[in-house]
Structure 1
């Protein structure tokens, strides 16, 4: 458990276990603690490097906007700082957006990519979810005082008084338009998408995203010859808010991270 000074950010990270490294990126308003329920299952098979992103958890905010692109550069700089030229990465929600941008902006740095409950364009969220995201600001931060995320932030953040600032900056990020479809279609890193069947992302976008990665275009054949490199999992009985803590998540992703995908001939 330590800090790394990268790109002007004092980035908190924790290392657990041994083996091939797997980087974990939490969701919005969270921290590495988001992964506590599934950490033992992951650490049993991998060396886990969990990161607190800019302004979250134990990583203090800095004088720059909160952007997926700059946080992706932070993650890439951390991997180089740690001497990890080819790591796997699992990102959830906000962390999934950062993970996707890491793969796009730093090709060759990641060996495998897992995106949990993450769309590839802003309008991949349900309209009502987008409306809620757009409304996030300092007033929302006040309404969230006393909740478990706020209590954790108060306990671990270098500047607990920055809670309203985090909501304002995150709201600014979530109101920005983006569509990374073309860049997703050009990705070469083997990628797995994981969603809940009652996610904040409609099933239509899950299929669209998977299609951009080369999945869902044809039958794989009786021997699996035409199976795509990309993977898609829709986990039953879960939502956007509990998929990251479910034992079904490591059960779904560990085989993808462990075994070499069969390349199409």
Structure 2
């Protein structure tokens, strides 16, 4: 458990287990603790490197906006800092956007990508979810004091008083429009998309996302030789908010990370 000086900030990361490296990127207002329920299953098979993103958890904020693109640069810089030529990267929700941007911006360092409950364009969220995205103002952050996210932040953040600042910057990030469809379609990194069947991301968007990655266009053939390199898992009985706690998540992820996949074609 230590800090890495990357991207102009001290990026907190902690390691568990041994084997091929797997980076975990948490969701908004979270920290590495967000993966506590599934960490033992992942660390039993992999060298897990869990990261606190800019302004979250034990990583103090710096004087720059919160952007998927800059946080992706931080992740790539961490992989280099650790002396790794490549790593598997799993991101959940906000961290899923960061993981996706890491593969887009730094494909050479991402061996396999897992995006959990995150869209490739902002309109992939249901309209009601978009309407409820946090307001980019300190008053909204103040109203969230006493929530589990705030209590965790107060306990582990280097500067607990930055809570309202994190709320402002995250709200501003989540209300920015984006559409990465062209860049997703150009990806060659084998990718697993994982969603809940009652996710905050629309089921239509899940299928569109998979389609951009080459999935859902043809039958795989009796022997599976025409299977795409990327895969889609929709986990039953879960939501956007509890998928990261479910044993079904590592059960879907670990086979994808360990089994051979067909080359893109």
Asked if 1:217 is matched to 2:217, the reply is yes
Aligned residues: 265
1:65-122 alpha-carbon deviations (Å, 9 max, x no partner): 0000000000000000001111000000000000000000112111000000010001
TM alignment of 1:222-237, pairs within 5 A? 222-237=222-237
Alpha-carbon distance in 2 for matches of 1:99, 1:193: 12
1:180-235 alpha-carbon deviations (Å, 9 max, x no partner): 00000000100000000000001000000000000000111111111111100000
Following TM superposition, where does structure 1 have runs of at least 4 consecutive aligned residues deviating by more than 6 angstroms?
A: none
Q: Where does residue 6 of structure 1 map in the other structure?
A: 6
Gapped runs of 5+ residues in structure 1? none
Asked if 1:89 is matched to 2:89, the reply is yes
CA contact (8 A) 2:135 2:171 kept: yes
Q: Secondary structure at the match of 2:18?
A: coil
Q: Where does residue 52 of structure 1 map in the other structure?
A: 52
Q: Where does residue 263 of structure 2 map in the other structure?
A: 263
Give the Å deviation of 1:174. Answer: 0.7
Alpha-carbon distance in 1 for matches of 2:134, 2:143: 16
Q: Secondary structure at the match of 2:107?
A: coil
Alpha-carbon distance in 1 for matches of 2:35, 2:134: 26
Alpha-carbon distance in 1 for matches of 2:199, 2:13: 28
Alpha-carbon distance in 2 for matches of 1:136, 1:236: 33
Q: Where does residue 29 of structure 2 map in the other structure?
A: 29
Q: Where does residue 106 of structure 2 map in the other structure?
A: 106
Alpha-carbon distance in 1 for matches of 2:158, 2:125: 32
Task: State the TM-score, normalizing by the size of structure 2.
Answer: 0.98
1:138-193 alpha-carbon deviations (Å, 9 max, x no partner): 22212211111111100000000001000100011011110000000000100000
RMSD, aligned CA: 1.0
Q: Where does residue 156 of structure 2 map in the other structure?
A: 156
Q: Where does residue 193 of structure 1 map in the other structure?
A: 193
Q: Where does residue 167 of structure 2 map in the other structure?
A: 167
Relative distance call for 1:149 and 1:98 in structure 2 (3 A) is: same
CA contact (8 A) 1:124 1:202 kept: yes
Alpha-carbon distance in 2 for matches of 1:113, 1:264: 14
1:5-43 alpha-carbon deviations (Å, 9 max, x no partner): 111111000011110000000000000000000000000
Gapped runs of 5+ residues in structure 2? none
Higher mean alpha-carbon deviation, 26-35 vs 223-232, is at 223-232
Q: Secondary structure at the match of 1:108?
A: helix
